[in-house]
């Protein structure tokens, strides 16, 4: 397979793998509200999407390095295609949490697979990471609008069936991925080094690299911002009586703008330190999203979504670039697993904490508290980790 075709397949898997998230962002909170979940229970439901990945992302990434990225990704896509249509068939909060655990981990594995592949084919080009980010997030223009429209027209059955079909499309693209880097070694390595404890030891060893520690910390905070956007942001929009399709449009706009702005990561990072850019863009994105509850009109919210997309879009490919160039090609799976672990931990903690805060203080105060915590933590990272990371990003 020529490298151009390899990139096309990898970008396609990124497109479909990341596209699950905005579809779930639209459908799952609306379904939770339909079956009578309280704000705290909604937080548990939305946090459950990340919970299994907190424990299993590092072993999952290591397994990709040993058994092959494509095998693991294909199994995950099949699981997604089967499980998503079950949501409306089982109207129970407890069942919803279980399904979120399983489908969230399946989506995480597909997305990890795309990132691991792009890290292997070229670790030294932030422009490539920007193009990968653009193609991957461009699926977010189509996915949430389709899902919101399906919800409005066909209800929960139509929306979740559509996500299942998306899983089948993901599986089709996985079939065109390039072969794994070390064919023939997978069978010899799978059993002798199958210890989860060994995988975690490898992960902690990689975390000692200052540039890796810095980007993982930044990734955690950026994912906290994403977790709010994919949980209580749609709840806030629903409280304004927006339709499912309108909510889908607002979710899509932020994602598409993020993809477009990601294309600028390469040129900008040649003029400004990627490390400093990460701190600035993450902080600005957090401040903008936490202020969303000050606005109620569609055009105001569209402006916030656009601004959020600009800054988060630049941050994402920079994180991939710094991480990929800090780890050798044979360890891309486990390095992505490290980032996925902290990301999913953020994805679990933020919705649950926000649900409790909304119950206790109301939606507006909860958003402001969230912004203050993220910005304080980012200042700490800038003071402690940024100097040690030095010019590690380039």
pLDDT digits (tens, 9 = 90+) for 295-309: 999 999 999 999 988
Judge whether 218 and 279 are in contact, CB under 8 Å.
yes
Average pLDDT, the chain: 81
Give yes or no for residue 94 having a pLDDT over 60: yes
Give the pLDDT confidence score for residue 66 in this predicted structure. 78
Indicate the burial class of 279 (C-beta count within 10 angstroms; 0-12, 13-18, 19 or more). Answer: buried
Give yes or no for residue 211 having a pLDDT over 80: no
**C-alpha to C-alpha distance for 280 and 284, rounded to whole angstroms:** 6
User: What's the pLDDT tens digit per position in 351-377?
Assistant: 788 888 888 888 888 889 888 999 999
Average pLDDT over residues 85-98: 94
Average pLDDT over residues 74-83: 95
DSSP state letters, 287-324: HHHHTGGG--SHHHHHHHHHHHHHHHHHHHHHHHHHHH
Average pLDDT over residues 256-278: 79
Q: Which domains does the chain have, with CATH numbers?
A: 3-176+196-389 (1.20.1250.20)
DSSP state letters, 214-248: HHHHHHHHHHHHHHHHTTHHHHHHHHTT--HHHHH
Report yes or no on whether pTM surpasses 0.75.
no
Give the pLDDT confidence score for residue 342 in this predicted structure. 79
Average pLDDT over residues 201-217: 77
């Amino acid at each position: 397979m020529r490298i151009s075709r390899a990139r096309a397949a990898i970008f396609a898997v990124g497109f479909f793998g990341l596209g699950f998230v905005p579809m779930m962002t639209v459908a799952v909170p609306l379904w939770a509200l339909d079956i009578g979940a309280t704000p705290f229970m909604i937080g548990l439901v939305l946090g459950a999407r990340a919970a299994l990945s907190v424990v299993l992302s590092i072993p999952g990434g290591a397994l990709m390095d040993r058994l092959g990225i494509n095998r693991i990704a294909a199994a995950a896509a099949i699981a997604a295609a089967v499980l998503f249509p079950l949501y409306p068939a089982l109207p129970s909060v407890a069942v919803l949490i279980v399904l979120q655990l399983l489908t969230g981990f399946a989506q995480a594995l597909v997305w990890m697979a795309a990132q691991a592949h792009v890290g292997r084919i070229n670790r030294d080009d932030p422009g490539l990471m920007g193009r990968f980010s653009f193609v991957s997030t461009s699926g977010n223009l189509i996915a949430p609008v389709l899902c919101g429209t399906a919800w409005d027209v066909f209800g929960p059955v139509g929306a979740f069936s559509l996500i299942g079909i998306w899983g089948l499309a993901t599986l089709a693209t996985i079939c065109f991925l390039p072969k794994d880097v070390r064919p023939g070694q997978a069978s010899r390595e799978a059993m002798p080094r199958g210890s989860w404890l060994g995988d975690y030891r490898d992960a902690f060893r990689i975390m000692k690299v200052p540039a890796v520690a810095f980007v993982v910390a930044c990734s955690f905070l950026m994912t906290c911002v994403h977790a709010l956007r994919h949980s209580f942001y749609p709840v806030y929009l629903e409280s304004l009586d927006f339709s499912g399709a309108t909510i889908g449009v607002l979710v899509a706009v932020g994602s598409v703008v993020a993809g477009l702005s990601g294309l600028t990561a390469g040129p900008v990072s040649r003029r400004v330190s990627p490390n400093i850019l990460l701190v600035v863009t993450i902080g600005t994105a957090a401040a903008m999203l936490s202020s969303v509850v000050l606005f109620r009109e569609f055009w105001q919210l569209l402006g916030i979504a656009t601004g959020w997309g600009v800054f988060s879009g630049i941050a994402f490919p920079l994180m991939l670039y710094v991480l990929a160039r800090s780890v050798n090609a044979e360890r891309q799976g486990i390095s992505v697993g490290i980032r996925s672990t902290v990301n999913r931990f953020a994805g679990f903690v933020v919705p649950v904490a926000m649900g409790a805060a909304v119950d206790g203080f109301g939606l507006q105060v909860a958003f402001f508290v969230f912004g203050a915590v993220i910005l304080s933590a980012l200042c700490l990272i800038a003071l402690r980790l940024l100097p040690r990371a030095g010019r590690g990003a380039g």
